[in-house]
Each structure stands twice: as C-alpha cells, then as structure tokens.
Amino acid sequence: MSIAVVWSRFNEEITARLLAGARRALEAHGVAPDRTDILAVPGAFEIPLVAKHLAARGRYDAVVAIGAVIRGETGHYDLVAQAAADGIARAALDTGVPVIFGVLATETPEQARARSGGALGNRGEDAALAAIEMVEVLRSIAARDDPASAGRSGPAWGAGTPPE
Ligand code: INI
C-alpha cells in the first residue's frame, strides 16, 4: 500500500503531533515509511489542490490530509475550514482515490491539543487508519469484479463486519 500525506504547517505545534500519529499508525499497520510520501503545504486552504494532484498521479492508494484550523477573532476560520473540507471531498470524488479528512477544526488551541495526542486521542492516527480501511474497501469492490474471485459472495463487503 502506498500512501501520500499532505501536511499543513499552519498551527505547526498541533499538526506536527497529528503527523507523528499518522506516521506511527501507518507503520504499525504495515505501510513502510518508504511507501509513505509527505508533502508540506502552508495552510489548510492549500491542502485540496495538492491532495488532488497527488491523488491523480495514480501511484498512491490513498491520500491523508492533515491540518488544524483553530477559530480566531475573525471569520477567516470559517472560510478556511469550509474550503478545506469541500476541497478535500472534491479531490476524492474527482479522482476516485480516497482523500482522508484529517483536519482538526476547533474553537481553541486546548481542544486541538486534546485531539492531537492528548486526552481525546490523535486525529492524525485516526485519519491514517481510515485511509487503510478505505483502500481495503475499494480493493474488496474491485475483487468482486475480478473473474478470478467469481463465486465469492456474502453480505459483508470491505474491512468491517456489519452488525446483525
Ligand atoms: N490555516 C490553517 O491551516 N489553520 C488556521 O487556523 C488558519 N487561520 O486561522 O487563519 C489558516 N489560515 C491560512 C490559510 O490556510 C492559508 O494558508 C492562507 O490564507 C494563504 O492562502
């Protein structure tokens, strides 16, 4: 599995912790560091364009987008957070490659710290796990279309087991 990470430097204290979590999770799940490319961008607003370029290259199974948008005194926050969310979703839908939303959007720096290796876990780690799961989901769909796996059937597709 080959993964690209778009890492936004804005609020770097937070995003460095998210990136560390993502790298740890990828390696722990068998994605070797030399199969993981990391591209830095200035802020969350810049993530979608780079994510789309990477996804369109055809050499990555998924792209993980990492950033932190923290509400300040102005409305800038809403614009940046919305543009990042919309653009990341669009990059995935336009290319057919999973682009995972590992961008924190919080009211305060404390809330961001809690979600980047603090009391509430690490959203970078969660994003990396979501990327791996999405690659498996898409591979399971492709396997169903593969004549070599004809006859395989069952209710559960993808990586998870649906509840009864
Ligand atoms: N970028 C972020 O990643 N997080 C923020 O909280 C943020 N705020 O609050 O302004 C932010 N702004 C920069 C933006 O992403 C762009 O880099 C900049 O506007 C240049 O296009």
Q: Quick: pLDDT tens for 95-150.
A: 999 999 999 999 999 999 999 999 999 999 999 999 999 999 999 999 988 777 65
Residue 74's alpha-carbon distances to 68, 70, 71, 79, in angstroms, are: 16, 11, 8, 10
Residue in this structure with the two tokens 């690659």, named with its chain if needed:
135
Take atom 11 of ligand 1 and give the residue whose Cα is closest.
43
pLDDT surpassing 70 at residue 156: no
Assign 153 a pLDDT band (cuts: 50, 70, 90): low
- Going from the N-terminus, what domains does the chain have, and what CATH number goes with each? 3-149 (3.40.50.960)
Q: Which of 29, 76, 144, 152 does the annotation list as catalytic?
A: 76
The tens digit of pLDDT for each residue in 54-107 reads: 999 999 999 999 999 999 866 789 999 999 999 999 999 999 999 999 999 999
The whole model's pTM is what? 0.92
Phi, psi of 45 (to 5 degrees): -60, -30
Q: Count Cβ atoms below 10 Å from residue 148 Cβ, excluding itself.
A: 7
58 burial type by CB count under 10 A (0-12 exposed, 13-18 middle, 19+ buried): exposed
pLDDT of residue 159: 62
- Which pLDDT value is given to residue 46? 98
pLDDT at 152 over 70: no
Which residues lie with the beta carbon below 6 Å from any ligand 1 atom? 8, 10-11, 42-46, 67-70, 72, 76-77, 80
Minimum CA distance residue for ligand 1 atom 7: 69
Q: Is residue 76 flagged as an active site residue?
A: yes
Q: Residue 119 C-alpha to ligand 1 middle, in angstroms?
A: 25
Q: Quick one: pLDDT at residue 72?
A: 80
Residues 6+ apart with CB under 8 A from 49: 87
- The per-residue pLDDT for 144 is 84
